């Protein structure tokens, strides 16, 4: 290259190599993101914010079938709204964040009635916090905390039983924004 000395050529080659490597890493990350089933039924959840580009979109929509296609977990726990322990089934919040390629620090969880609460992603990583779609084997109806309900493992981790965590137990969840 004209006008560039040997040290300049080395820096130029290193910059080109770095740019190519960065593009390959970005492409590999995008290829891993957004592995979920196509939405065929009514949308029950939209996830947006700091997520991987998914086929040109920066939000991912889920119906109940596409949520059920993600790895499912169960939590048997008590909470202030039930008289006894209840078995909930759904997807762990950390698995949902991974499924959409989320890379933020906070989850803003919004309900159908515009109530919202923020939850640190670190907490979702540390605890088995469930986005439940079933209670005792039955799909959660909207009139009873459905279609989705954030369930903490209060029985397994009694230290989580605080007013702040109760406020983060959002029901009728319709949107999660990763910030």
Q: Is 130 helix (H, G, I), strand (E, B) or coil?
A: strand
149, β-bridge pairs: 132, 171
**Selection from 81, 107, 114 nearest residue 168 by Cα:** 107
pLDDT of residue 18: 41
Distance CA 79, CA 73 (A): 18
Distance CA 153, CA 151 (A): 7
Tokens of 24: 């390959």
pLDDT of residue 53: 66
Distance CA 115, CA 175 (A): 11
Tokens of 10: 């080395």
pLDDT of residue 20: 38
Count CA atoms within 13 Å of residue 130 on its CB side: 22
Written as tens digits, the pLDDT of the chain (179 aa) is 455 555 555 444 444 444 333 333 343 343 344 555 678 899 999 999 999 866 666 789 999 999 999 999 999 999 999 999 999 999 999 999 999 999 999 999 999 999 999 999 999 999 999 999 999 999 999 999 999 999 999 999 999 999 999 999 999 999 999 99
pLDDT of residue 168: 97
Q: Would you mind telling me the total number of residues written for the chain in this entry?
A: 179
């Amino acid at each position: 290259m004209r006008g560039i000395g040997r040290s300049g050529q080395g820096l130029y080659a290193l910059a080109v190599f770095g740019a190519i490597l960065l593009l390959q890493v970005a492409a590999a990350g995008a290829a891993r993101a957004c592995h979920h089933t196509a939405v065929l039924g009514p949308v029950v959840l939209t996830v947006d914010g700091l997520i991987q580009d998914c086929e040109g979109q920066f939000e991912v929509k889920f119906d109940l079938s596409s949520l059920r296609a993600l790895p499912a977990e169960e939590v048997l726990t008590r909470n202030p709204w039930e008289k006894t322990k209840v078995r909930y089934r759904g997807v762990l919040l950390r698995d949902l964040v991974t499924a959409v390629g989320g890379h933020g620090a906070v989850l803003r969880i919004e309900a159908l009635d515009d109530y919202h609460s923020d939850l640190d992603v670190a907490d979702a990583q540390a605890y088995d916090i469930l986005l439940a779609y079933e209670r005792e084997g039955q799909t959660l109806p909207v009139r009873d905390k459905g279609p989705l309900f954030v369930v903490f493992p209060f029985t397994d981790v009694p230290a989580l039983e605080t007013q702040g965590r109760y406020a983060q137990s959002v029901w009728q969840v319709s949107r999660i924004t990763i910030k």
